[in-house]
A and B are shown apart, each in its own frame.
Chain A
């Protein structure tokens, strides 16, 4: 099946710094990727849709200036958490759809755990 990777798998940073998380589709191209956020012991919440060659679409309540998304190529989307604060600490997961005959399904990356001190 299709493989999605994320880098780094975990990161610790100081409050006020920016952190970049990469999401790559390794063996397929993805014009669209999705970014989710998961707080401890909670479900995944969709943050934004990353679109190759155009602006990302953010879900209601997600600050676009806080969470910068760039879909630079058909295999790479990046999420930059700007001026991170402790409340941004979370597990960030990306996904990309792949499939044939219109039967797309999401393939998830392994996630990135962000801890802001």
Chain B
């Protein structure tokens, strides 16, 4: 069955420290992959996406993600976290590769400490 897993429900990092949020999917082929961020009470903002090609994807706000086919993973990284990065992060997958609805992971809540 197709699924999206974000293993970490909560993550706490110190401001200035590096960040990695994990995302794994279960699927026989390579889907379209996305990371979104949601601030409290707000809508979704797209951070970055992967369709094909270079497996290291650069996004907005200094985020990047690496697609690893062998691990069925699409982990999100940032070298130095800012307090404003505190939010909910969702990994999402388009298993249809055609613009159909997205399957979302359960989300990872990021807390940034001073």
Residues of chain A whose beta carbon lies under 8 Å from any beta carbon of chain B:
34, 36, 41-46, 49, 93, 95, 97-99, 102-106, 108-111, 113
With A105-B32, A105-B34, A108-B43: A43-B104 Cβ-Cβ less than 8 Å: yes
Task: Report the Cα distance A45→B103, complex, angstroms.
Answer: 8
Q: A106-B34, A106-B99, A106-B102 are in contact. List 20 more A-B contacts (CB 8 A).
A: A34-B101, A42-B106, A42-B107, A43-B106, A43-B107, A44-B90, A44-B104, A46-B101, A95-B102, A97-B99, A103-B51, A104-B99, A105-B32, A106-B94, A106-B101, A108-B36, A109-B43, A111-B42, A111-B43, A113-B41
With A93-B43, A110-B42, A111-B43: A43-B98 Cβ-Cβ less than 8 Å: no
Query: Can you list 16 A-B contacts with CB-CB less than 8 angstroms, sorted by A residue number?
Result: A36-B101, A41-B88, A42-B106, A43-B90, A43-B105, A44-B102, A46-B103, A93-B43, A95-B102, A97-B99, A105-B32, A106-B34, A106-B94, A108-B43, A108-B44, A109-B43
**Chain A neighbourhood of B34, CB < 8 A:** 105-106
**Chain A neighbourhood of B107, CB < 8 A:** 42-43
**Chain A neighbourhood of B100, CB < 8 A:** 97
The A-contacting residues of B in range 12-51, CB under 8 angstroms, are 32, 34, 36, 41-44, 46, 49, 51
Task: Report the Cα distance A19→B41, complex, angstroms.
Answer: 20
Task: Report the Cα distance A46→B94, complex, angstroms.
Answer: 12
Number of B interface residues in the complex (CB < 8 A): 24
Q: Say what secondary structure dominates the interface of chain A.
A: strand
With A105-B34, A105-B49: A93-B44 Cβ-Cβ less than 8 Å: yes
**Chain B neighbourhood of A93, CB < 8 A:** 43-44
**Chain A neighbourhood of B41, CB < 8 A:** 113
Tell whether, in the assembled complex, residue B98 and residue A104 are in contact, meaning their CB atoms are under 8 Å apart.
yes
